[in-house]
């Protein structure tokens, strides 16, 4: 029996007796969903479409053992008030078994205003921690071994300043920059598309973003120099298709720009990372 025969012989008579809950079933991307999927619905060559974990095209995962070797990094995004309060929250999360840190900065920090600037009024410490100086950064990571945790920082327009502070406090603790592990978001394009914390026009923003990618490739080799993000597009209302498409198109732009500036693709591409949203529809 094939799918068409099943539909004629079993499905249609059944539908005549008992209808379905809805006229049509639609995914978050607007695809109409059939009652069932079968081998006939997919054009699948196992080796080229899926292959094995740890093997190109990595559809089944990027490592041969996936979570059997080590589970994903549990990384709770946190930050509020001043560096002292946030530092306490980080220590609490690490005590509770969290395995990576993720820093939320307040809006003034994200758009480059110090806490005493009129533009910062009413926003200090609200959606994240306020960081003005290298001293604030020192307090934020006080007592946290920077050579042993990985730290993700949601920072874009002022990414170079924040990354510099992180490198500087690590070096003052005797930890060299090539030992540091973590991620900076550094994805300026999605700021214009969906998130909104841009400062400069797109061209200088792209220059800064590629400066950071190139700097990290040479000097901070274990650091993810960008997290190309679809999450904020999804939060702004994008469908999964739009989230995937626009995020990859942003990624293509960064890769093109760095190559244009003379760096070999394999010298920086292994350190590109991505960031997506998981919504209510499991699929």
Partner 1 sequence: MKDRFEAKNPRSMMLRFHTQTAGCTLTAQQPENNIVRVTIQALAAVLGGTQSLHTNSFDEALSLPTEKAVRIALRTQQILAEESGVADVADPLGGSYYVEWLTDKIEEEAMKYIEKIDEMGGMVRAIEAGFPQREIQRSAYEKQKKIDEGEMTVVGVNKYQIEEEIELEILRIDENMVRKQVERLKKFRESRDKKKVEEALEKLKKAAEGEENLVPYILECIKARATLGETTDVLREVFGEYQAPQIF
What end-to-end distance do the CA atoms of the chain give, in Å?
A: 28
Stretch that binds partner 1, among 4-12, 13-21, 38-46, 141-149 (CB under 8 A): 38-46
Per CB under 8 A, the list member of 5, 43, 45, 260 interacting with partner 1 is 43
Among 19, 97, 143, 174, binds partner 1 (CB under 8 A): 97
**Contact status: 256 vs partner 1 (CB under 8 A):** yes
Task: Confirm or reject binding of residue 25 to partner 1 (CB under 8 A).
Answer: no
Interface with partner 1 in residues 136-175 (CB under 8 A): 136, 152, 157-158, 160-165, 167-168
Residue span binding partner 1 (CB under 8 A) among the ranges 8-16, 140-148, 205-213: 205-213
Which residue(s) pair with 32 in the sheet? 26
Q: Does residue 102 touch partner 1 according to CB under 8 A?
A: yes
Please check whether residue 105 is in contact with residue 153, taking contact to mean a CB–CB distance below 8 angstroms.
yes
Sign of CA dihedral 38, 39, 42, 44: positive
Question: Would you state the structure tokens that stand for residue 177, as one six-digit string?
Answer: 């920059």
Cα 121 from chain centroid (whole Å): 29
d(CA 128, CA 17): 57
Q: Applying CB under 8 A, what is the total number of residues that bind partner 1?
A: 135
CB–CB of 65/53 below 8 Å? yes
Other Cβ atoms closer than 10 A to 255: 18
Between 18 and 71, name the residue whose CB sits nearer to partner 1: 71
Give, as ranges, the residues between 52 and 71 that touch partner 1 (CB under 8 A). Answer: 53, 56-62, 64-68, 71
- Using the minimum distance from each CB to partner 1, give the nearer residue, 146 or 194: 194
Q: How far is CA 99 from the centre of its chain?
A: 17
In whole angstroms, how close is the CB of 23 to partner 1 at the nearest point? 10
């Amino acid at each position: 029996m094939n799918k068409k025969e099943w539909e004629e012989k079993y499905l249609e008579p059944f539908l005549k007796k008992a209808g379905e809950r809805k006229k049509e079933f639609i995914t978050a991307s607007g695809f109409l969903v059939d009652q069932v999927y079968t081998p006939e619905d997919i054009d699948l060559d196992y080796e080229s479409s899926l292959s094995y974990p740890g093997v190109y095209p990595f559809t089944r995962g990027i490592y041969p053992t996936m979570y059997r070797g080590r589970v994903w990094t549990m990384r709770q995004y946190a930050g509020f008030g001043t560096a002292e309060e946030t530092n306490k929250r980080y220590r609490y999360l690490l005590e509770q078994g969290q395995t990576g840190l993720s820093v939320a900065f307040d809006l003034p920090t994200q758009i480059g205003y110090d806490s005493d600037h009129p533009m910062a009024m009413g926003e200090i410490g609200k959606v994240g921690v306020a960081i003005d100086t290298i001293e604030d950064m020192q307090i934020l990571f006080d007592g946290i071994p920077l050579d042993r945790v990985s730290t993700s920082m949601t920072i874009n327009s002022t990414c170079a300043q924040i990354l510099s502070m992180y490198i500087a406090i690590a070096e003052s603790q005797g930890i060299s920059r090539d030992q540091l592990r973590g991620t900076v978001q550094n994805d300026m394009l999605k700021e214009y598309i969906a998130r909104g914390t841009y400062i400069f026009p797109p061209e200088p923003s792209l220059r800064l973003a590629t400066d950071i990618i190139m700097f990290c490739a040479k000097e901070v080799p274990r650091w993810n120099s960008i997290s190309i993000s679809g999450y904020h597009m999804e939060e702004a209302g994008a469908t999964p298709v739009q989230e995937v498409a626009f995020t990859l198109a942003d990624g293509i732009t960064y890769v093109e720009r760095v190559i244009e500036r003379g760096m070999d693709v394999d010298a920086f591409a292994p350190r590109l990372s991505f960031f997506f949203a998981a919504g209510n529809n499991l699929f």
